[in-house]
């Protein structure tokens, strides 16, 4: 076995959603360094083009799609197989957070918007991505994204978001049970506070300071610190890990 962080990923096709986001960019960059070929998916073409232009390696593809459109998932996955040569990894990061500091302010649209992107679209894309992995018979890796909110119930006006991320943990476990027979592992990464637009938008500075104070490592992580565990989970070294929720929170929560 080759002992490197991205062992086994050279030439593998990787689909990353939320690729233009704070963590998504770092995940794309990290996969690029492993020799994998990446399809970077996000809402705006110019932004994913920029992500791909900055990546190491070759054969990467930038695609603009709104993942709430479930009919776009099959064509997206087929395009990944055709243009990357295969599809071995799905890293599903796309998500939205609408903070409402009072639950009385939460609207039905707030609920639907966050659950449609954060949970519903993730399930259907995971299912679509698993099909060519099963057909290829080479196993595969699905990495979903939860949040510490799945455990805490959400801090800083994020109860609806937290509920969607709790759904991610349950769904990840269910998919791991379903897909294990095909050699496909399914795991969730649960970041703590990470320095990205999602964290900082609308966040009360006092809440931000208290988050830092409650983190044993004493700081808010940079996106690269989340990308490492994602690449690890996709690599050969994580072959016996499935159904897990990997807590990457600087000790903010311990589980
Ligand atoms: N930043 C944090 O502190 C933190 C903490 C815990 C979990 N997370 C999770 O990590 C993941 C990445 O978060 P981030 O901080 O990089 O967020 P971000 O807001 O920087 O990036 C999210 C990306 O998803 C894209 N996106 C949103 N809706 C989409 C849709 N319908 N179709 C396609 N793309 C869409 C956005 O355009 C954006 O580029 C998310 O799943 C988030 O919930 C982040």
Indicate whether 157 belongs to any domain. Answer: yes
| pLDDT for position 132 | 98
State mean pLDDT over 64-89. 98
| pLDDT for position 155 | 86
- For ligand 1, the distance from its centroid to the CA atom of residue 244, given in whole angstroms, is 20
Name the residue at shortest CA distance from atom 2 of ligand 1: 194
| pLDDT for position 204 | 85
State mean pLDDT over 114-130. 98
Indicate whether 254 belongs to any domain. Answer: no
Query: Are 57 and 33 in contact, with CB atoms under 8 Å apart?
Result: yes
| pLDDT for position 13 | 98
Indicate whether 6 belongs to any domain. Answer: no
Indicate whether 3 belongs to any domain. Answer: no
| pLDDT for position 201 | 83
Question: Which residue range is the domain that position 95 belongs to?
Answer: 13-248
Indicate whether 159 belongs to any domain. Answer: yes
Q: Give tens-digit pLDDT for 83-93.
A: 999 999 999 99
| pLDDT for position 95 | 98
- Measured from the CB, is residue 249 less than 6 Å from ligand 1? no
Which of the residues are catalytic? 161
State mean pLDDT over 52-56. 97
| pLDDT for position 1 | 55
Query: Are 72 and 50 in contact, with CB atoms under 8 Å apart?
Result: no
Percent of the chain with pLDDT over 70: 99
Q: Indicate the number of domains in the chain.
A: 1
Instruction: Give yes or no for residue 133 having a pLDDT over 90.
Output: yes
| pLDDT for position 2 | 55
Query: Are 73 and 120 in contact, with CB atoms under 8 Å apart?
Result: no
- Measured from the CB, is residue 16 less than 6 Å from ligand 1? no
Q: Is residue 46 helix, strand or coil?
A: helix
CATH number at residue 20: 3.40.50.720
- Of 25, 30, 95, best ligand 1 pocket probe by most atoms within 8 Å of the beta carbon: 95
- Of 93, 116, 126, 187, best ligand 1 pocket probe by most atoms within 8 Å of the beta carbon: 93
Instruction: Give yes or no for residue 172 having a pLDDT over 70.
Output: yes
Query: Are 93 and 18 in contact, with CB atoms under 8 Å apart?
Result: yes
Q: What mean pLDDT, rounded, does the chain reach?
A: 96
Q: Which of 112, 121, 106, 116 is nearest to 17 (CA)?
A: 121
Indicate whether 253 belongs to any domain. Answer: no
Q: Give tens-digit pLDDT for 10-44.
A: 999 999 999 999 999 999 999 999 999 999 999 99
Enumerate the β-bridge partners of residue 191: 248
Indicate whether 149 belongs to any domain. Answer: yes
């Amino acid at each position: 076995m080759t002992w490197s962080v991205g062992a086994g990923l050279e030439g593998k096709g990787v689909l990353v959603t939320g690729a233009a986001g704070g963590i998504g960019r770092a995940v794309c960059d990290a996969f690029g360094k492993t020799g994998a070929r990446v399809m970077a998916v996000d809402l705006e073409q110019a932004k994913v083009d920029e992500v791909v232009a900055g990546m190491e390696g070759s054969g990467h593809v930038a695609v603009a799609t709104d993942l709430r459109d479930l009919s776009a998932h099959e064509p997206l996955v087929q395009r990944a197989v055709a243009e990357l040569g295969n599809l071995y990894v799905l890293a599903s990061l796309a998500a939205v957070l609408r903070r409402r500091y009072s639950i009385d302010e939460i609207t039905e649209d707030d609920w639907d918007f966050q659950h449609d992107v954060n949970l519903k679209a993730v399930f259907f894309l995971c299912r679509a991505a698993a099909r060519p992995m099963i057909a290829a018979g080479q196993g595969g890796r699905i990495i979903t994204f939860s949040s510490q909110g799945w455990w805490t119930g959400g801090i800083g006006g994020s109860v609806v978001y937290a509920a969607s991320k709790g759904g991610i943990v349950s769904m990840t476990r269910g998919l791991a049970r379903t897909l294990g027979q095909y050699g496909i592992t399914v795991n969730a990464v649960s970041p703590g506070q990470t320095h990205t637009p999602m964290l900082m938008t609308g966040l009360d500075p006092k809440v931000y300071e208290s988050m830092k104070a409650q983190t044993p490592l004493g700081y808010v992580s940079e996106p690269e610190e989340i990308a490492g565990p994602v690449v690890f989970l996709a690599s050969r070294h994580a072959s016996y890990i499935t159904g897990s929720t990997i807590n990457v929170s600087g000790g903010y929560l311990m589980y």
